[in-house]
Structure 1
Amino acid sequence: MVRLVMILLGVDYLRTRWRSLRIIGWLSALLGVVIFIDALDNALYFPITPFAILLLLEGLCTLAVAWTGMGGQRTLRYVKGFAFSFAAALILAGHHHGHFILSMIFGMLFLADGLLQIVSARVVRYRTWRLAIIGGSLEIALAIFFFQPFPTHYVGTVPYCLGLGLMFGGWNLILLSTRARRLASNPAVAADDAAAHAASAPAAPAQTAARAASPGRPTTLEWDGPPAADEAALTVHVWTPVGSAKSEARRQPIVDRYIAAVDRHGVISTGHAALESPEGIYISLYPGVEIDRSPDDFTRLLRATSENDVPGVFQPDYPTESKAWCPSTVQVRIRNYDPVRLRRFWETYRQDTTYNLTHRNCSSSVSRALEAALEGASARVWGNLGGWRPFLRVITTPELWVAAQLRKRAATMAWTPGLTLDYARALSMLADPRPSGWVRMARLAVRRMMRSRQQWREEARNATVAQAGERGVAPGAVRDSGVSDA
């Protein structure tokens, strides 16, 4: 999550606030340690009932405004609302059963995530796979801690989780402050040392043109929906595995959404992803020679090692690619992006055409380009408000947690078209923020009241005209008789 916050807010914004971030991080970590230690004995001082009531109110309020969301935003709000309400109900139920169920749920989540991280690291073998195995082992250890009843017989489950959350959150803030203090540029979007050199070199003509077209600070702080069809926006094209299969695919939930689809002939389809900008940049990396994706060789090809590198080729533009293959299945469009940073990234990235099925594929190329284009996007939107408002808006947006989890999963496994699609959708909600549920619901209520008032006026006018007709009065004389639109 640290890198994602650096991408959205930019190093320039965070560097001026690194001291405050470090203080908040240390306070959060120390508070988490205190709460965790307090839960280790039977004398629990943590106010668990008021906390559960606040959790329940948050869940119910989220459910009350969830219907105002759009697409994935609505689904995320419903999931959050039901999860908070269910957890609060279990806490308020008290006794042994509620705490036991919560402990089992948290334990299963840690266990599943840890096992998935270890298995994917062993299979893919990316550069830091050993560190990922250590992290997965720690998650399994936490799962065992939640499963066993010692030392509080599951009563301390909620303080455990809250304490761990504060500790990890504080540690992330400390890391964020340290990096923001020391760095002159954002490493989260830099491809390599050449990118940093290109940033300090004189601008090329194409970069100068892009800088001239670069949007300034947006005048709009919130948008009611995605960009219109005729509106200039960055577009992420995704060909899903099922949608790009040559023949009818065998439906396998989750697998054919995020990994690959298998058609009735046994041919594997992994889908595709590309990025297109109004300035003429089109990023679509494809292997120069067709890779044999038969089930027998597919496991070997998953390793992100140099022996699986093949020559790649960048497609010229979307019309050419869609005509040669098929139109993209889904598109995600984003208004608030920086064409200068995207151009800088593209000029460096396209120098290397190496393709690797898991380490450097179409989806990883699009995700990295998207991060480069969105660097500082949230600061550009909320920077007019000044102070800590941009930071608070980013960290309190649920899509940040979703995007961070998707990025972590892709980093420990591989970027796939399905992960890139969800990642782009989550980032679009952060770069082009939507109105909060309460604001949107208030707007809808006001519009409904205005429509009702207009309808009442029309009904009163029609009734007056009808009565005048029955009395033989000319309709044009109705207004003169004292009936008006006021």
Structure 2
Amino acid sequence: MIRLVLILLGFDYLRERARGMFWLGIAFLAAGVALFVDGLDSARFFPLELFAMLLLAAGVGTFVVAIVGAGGMRAMRIFKALSLCVAASLVLAGHHHGNFWLSMIFGTLFLVDGLLQCISASVVRFPRWRWAVGMGVLEILIAIFFYQPWPTHYAGTVPYALSMWLLFGGWSMVMLAYRAMRIPETATIESLMHGPRRRHGRVAPHEQRTAPPLWTADAEQAPVHKMTKTLLFPPPRDLPPETGADAAALTVHVWTPSGAGQPLRRRPLIDRYIAAVDASGAIWTGHAALQSPEGIYISFDPAEPLSRTPESVTQALRASVDNDVAGIFEPDYPSEAARRGESTARVYLRNYDAARLERFWHAWRADTTYNLTYRNCAVSVARALEAAVEGALLRRRGNRHTWGILLQVMLTPELWLAAQIRKRGKTMAWTPGLVRDYARALSLLVDSHGQAKSRWRLHLPVLKRLRAQRRQWRRDDGEGQAG
């Protein structure tokens, strides 16, 4: 989550506050250790009841806000509200039963996430997959710790959970701030998150003979040329009506596996996020592309169609050099639509940086190596999105570099959704289905359409209505007395 926050705030924000974030991360680590030790002592000092009341108040407030929301934001806020209320109720229930069920919930979440990460990393074998497996094993051990009653018979469940959040978040903050203080000023968040592509501890062979990595000064300082919208594709036809048909927006095109045009064996979640299997046994993974009003079109395919048999796809899942093949970038949407048909889903983002997107595109297209899991169409779009929205939240708030923005963003429920999707894409593989949901979550975070101009206006709609009603009552009372 910390990494996504820093992408949205931008490298300028991180570089300016790197030292402060480093010590803030140290403070998180120290607080996490203190909370964990207190949990081992049956939460003697942690104010459980006060914390539960705060959770309950946050849950009720979030539910009230969700009533006036819409779409994905409303659904996400309702989910957050229910989660907070359930957690608060279990804490207030206290004694053995409430703490027991709360511990079982936390343990199950860690267990499922850890197993999924271990299995996916072992299958895909992306760079640093051993580290991902190790983190998955750590999550499984944490799950076991939550499941068993030692040493406090579940009385320290809440401090344990908070300490885990502080420890993981603090460690990520420390490492990012440390790297930000050491890399050149011309670097970007994209380079900080990814760096050069490595395979089994070495830079992949094709990167030794292609353009410089994205983190070099040459890539960052590459000239940005304004392109006309008529080069590739006219403005999208189906923008939300409140923005107007001529509004500039990035368009994420997704051809879902279930829209392959073939009779499919229906598997709801697998069809959406991984692949679909047709009646003949062929596997369809879908496709993703990104188009900008400035004329950039990012759509990456293998130069020669890959075999769709289950055996071939299974063999190609491993993100190793021997599964690299030649790739090709599609020229424009009309050409691709003529071959694939119209995209089955579209997501629009308006708060983006065209210059950063073009710099990313100059570097990314220099390498035409395609890998089914590590460098595919969805990876291209996901990384292009992150380059384009870098610093979007600061742009929306007038480039005010304050600590309050960091805190405000971290309390946004849409951030949790986007962070979970990003984690799945990084530890498993980016797929068109994940890219679609990731783009939607980023749109909720960075775009102002469908949201109030001020965060406080969004968070206090009912109080504003009550104040307006009270003012009306006063006017009515005054008119009655005057008569």
Change (3 A) 1:143 1:339: same
Q: Which amino acid aligns with 2:349?
A: I
Aligned to 2:461: 442
The residue that corresponds to 1:472 in the other structure is none
8 A contact 2:394–2:400 mirrored in 1: no
Report the alpha carbon displacement of residue 348 of structure 1 after superposing the two structures with TM: 1.7
* 1:273 partner SS: strand
- Whether 2:182 is the aligned partner of 1:182: answer yes
Q: Does 1:74 align with 2:74?
A: yes
**1:231 aligned to 239, 243, 247, which one?**
247
Name the Cα RMSD after superposition: 2.5
C-alpha change, 1:332 and 1:226, in structure 2 (3 Å) is farther
TM-score by length of 1: 0.83
Q: Which runs of 5+ in 1 are unaligned?
A: 212-223, 454-486
Contact 1:227 1:334 in 2 (8 A): no
| Contact 2:226-2:294 within 8 A present in 1 as well | no
> Aligned to 1:238, what secondary structure does the other structure show?
strand
Counterparts of 1:96-111 in structure 2, within 5 Å, are 96-111=96-111
Residue 475 of structure 1 corresponds to which residue in structure 2? none
Counterpart among 376, 384, 390 of residue 405 in structure 2: 390
Query: 2:456 & 2:352 partners in 1: Cα distance?
Result: 24
How far apart, CA to CA, are the structure 2 residues paired with 1:279 and 1:285? 19
Identical residues among aligned pairs (%): 53
User: 1:444, 1:276 → 2: CA distance?
Assistant: 41
**Distance in 2, Cα, partners of 1:16 & 1:161:** 31
1:209 is matched with: 226
Question: Does the CA contact (< 8 Å) of 1:8 and 1:375 recur in 2?
Answer: yes
The aligned runs of 1:121-270 (5 Å cut-off) are 121-183=121-183, 184-186=185-187, 188-190=189-191, 192=196, 193-195=212-214, 196-199=216-219, 203=223, 207-209=224-226, 227-243=243-259, 245-270=260-285
Change (3 A) 1:101 1:332: same
- The TM-score normalised by the length of structure 2 is 0.84
> Residues of 2 paired with 1:124 and 1:177: CA distance?
29
Contact residue 234 and residue 335 of structure 1 kept, 8 A: yes
Q: 2:315 aligns with which of 295, 300, 306?
A: 300
Whether the 8 Å contact between 1:110 and 1:142 is mirrored in structure 2 is yes
Given that 1:275 and 1:366 are in contact with CA atoms closer than 8 Å, whether structure 2 keeps it comes out as yes
C-alpha change, 1:269 and 1:360, in structure 2 (3 Å) is same
Match 1:338 to one of 353, 357, 371: 353
Q: CA deviation at 1:30?
A: 1.3
CA contact (8 A) 1:336 1:431 kept: yes
| Residue pair 2:14, 2:180 contacting (<8 A) in 1 also | yes
Deviations 1:254-296 (A, max 9, x none): 2111101122332221111000000110000011111112123
Match of 2:116 in 1: 116
Pair 1:425–1:361, CA change in 2 (3 A): same
Counterpart Cα distance in 1 of 2:388 and 2:220: 18
Residue in 2 aligned with 1:50? 50
Find the partner of 2:444 among 409, 429, 453: 429
Q: Is residue 226–residue 334 contact of structure 1 (8 Å, CA) maintained in 2?
A: no
**Which piece of structure 1 moves more, 380-389 or 104-113?**
380-389
Structure of larger gyration radius: 1
The 2-side partners of 1:314 and 1:42 are apart by 58
Q: Which runs of 5+ in 2 are unaligned?
A: 197-211, 229-239, 473-483
Q: Following the alignment from structure 2 to structure 1, what is the Cα–Cα distance between the partners of residues 463 and 335?
A: 43
User: What does residue 64 of structure 1 align with?
Assistant: 64
Preserved contact between residue 227 and residue 333 of structure 1 (Cα < 8 Å) = no
